[in-house]
Amino acid sequence: MDSIKITNLTYRYPTAEEPVLKNVSLSVKKGELCALVGANGSGKTTLCNAIRGFVPKFYKGDIEGEVIVNGKNVQTEEIGTIAMDVGFVFQNPFTQISGIANTVYDELAFGLCNMGVAPDEIKTRIEEIMKLTKIEEFRDRDPYQLSGGQQQRVALAAILVMGQDVLVIDEPTSQLDPQSTDDVFEIIQLMKSMGKTIVLVEHKMEQIAEYADRVVIMDEGEIVMEGTPKEVFSNPKCMEYHTRLPQCTKIAMELQKEGIDFKDMPVTVEEIVCSIEEMQGK
C-alpha cells in the first residue's frame, strides 16, 4: 500500500521562468524510508513541500499533476487537514522550535494542545516519546539553551509525539557533528521501527546507505535514478548527478583499481568488512 503517490508533478514558483519540478512521479510504500538525494537546487526541498501541501497553497505558482497522501489529494485538502497526516522536520531546529515554550516538556505539548488532545493523553504521549527518544534529561530545560544536536533531537521528538503516519525530514544533520548525527539517525530508525513512512533529504551517504530502503536521485527537477542503496550507489552513473558515494564504496572502487575484486560492491561499513574477511578466508 502506498502512503504517498505522486503522479506527473510539475511545479513552477511565481517568479521563476522554468519549473523546479518536472513531470515527477514517485510512490512511497507505507513504512518505507525513502531518501531523496542530489545536488543543491535539484528540487528535493520543493518536492517535500509538495508532499506537505505547501505548493502551491503557501508558495503559490503553477502546478500540474497530483500528490496523494494517505488517500487524500493535498491540493484539494486544507493544509491543516494534511498536517494531521504529515509531520515535517526542518533543516534548522531553530525554525522548528515554537519560541513560546519555556521547557522541552512544554515544547512537546505545544502541538498536541493545538490539536485539542486531552491533558491526560498529552502527558502519556510526552512521557513515552521522551523515554523512547532518550531526551528525558532535557525535560525542564529551555529548548534554546540546548546544543544544535540536542535541539534537533527535541524537534524530531516534537513531531513524533504528534502521531502522524507520514514524516518528511529535510536535511536534519546538515549542521551537526558525527555524534549528533548518529543520535538523530537513532531516532529516525526508531520512527521507522514504529511503521512511519519517511521521506528523508540527506547529504550524508553513509547513513543513507545504512538506513534507507530506497534512494531517489534528483537532478534539475527530475528523478533520474532510483533503487535500493546498493543498486544506486554501486552504479557509477550516479556520480554523473553530483551524488557523493559512501566512503566504503569509494574505498572499494579504489581497491578494485589495484586488482582487488569485490563480488558485490559494498555500500556500508559492515559490508566492506565482511567482503574483506571473506577474501582473507576468515
Rounded-to-integer distance, Cα 255 and Cα 127, Å = 49
pLDDT digits over 21-74, tens only? 999 999 999 999 999 999 999 999 999 999 999 999 999 999 999 999 999 999
Closest CA to 56 of 25, 88, 97, 14: 14
pLDDT digits over 166-185, tens only? 999 999 998 899 999 999 99
pLDDT digits over 199-215, tens only? 999 999 999 999 999 99
CA 215: distance to chain centroid?
A: 11
Whole-number pLDDT of residue 259: 86
Rounded-to-integer distance, Cα 17 and Cα 1, Å = 36
Enumerate residues 6+ apart whose C-beta is below 8 A from 258: none
Cell 559492515 belongs to: 270
Three-state DSSP at 243 gives: coil
Whole-number pLDDT of residue 282: 53
- Helix/strand/coil (H/E/C) assignment for every residue in 150-174: HHHHHHHHHHHCCCCCEEEEECCCC
Element (H, E) at 218: strand 214-219
Give yes or no for residue 261 having a pLDDT over 80: yes
Q: How confident is the model at residue 275 (pLDDT cuts 50, 70, 90)?
A: confident
Please state at what angle helix 269-279 crosses helix 247-257, rounded to 10 degrees: 30
Cell 526508531 belongs to: 190
What is the pTM for the complete model shown?
0.94
Cell 574483506 belongs to: 276
